[in-house]
Amino acid sequence: MQALTTSLKQFWRDEEGASAIEYALVAAMVAVALVTFITPIRNAVKAIFGDIQTALTS
């Protein structure tokens, strides 16, 4: 039982997992930013290419 208690105390003090969680949060924030800004940029590029296509076919 004492070995289990010692193992749990060591696990509780271990901070390596905290770095992984921080990296996961940063990755999630980057993903949210990309999802937020990709759609307007994609629509603007489509509009530009649509204008170019219209100008070339006219």
Measured in degrees and rounded to the nearest 5, phi and psi for residue 4 equal -65, -45
Of 15-24, 29-38, 44-53, where does mean pLDDT reach its minimum?
15-24
Scored b (16 or more CB within 10 A) or e, 9-22 reads eeeeeeeeeeeeee
Angle made by CA atoms 11, 12, 16, in degrees to the nearest 5: 70
Q: How far, CA to CA in Å, does 35 sit from each of 17, 28, 29, 45?
A: 27, 11, 10, 16
Whether 14 has a pLDDT exceeding 80, the answer reads no
Whether 17 has a pLDDT exceeding 70, the answer reads no
Nearest to 30 by CA among 18, 40, 22: 22
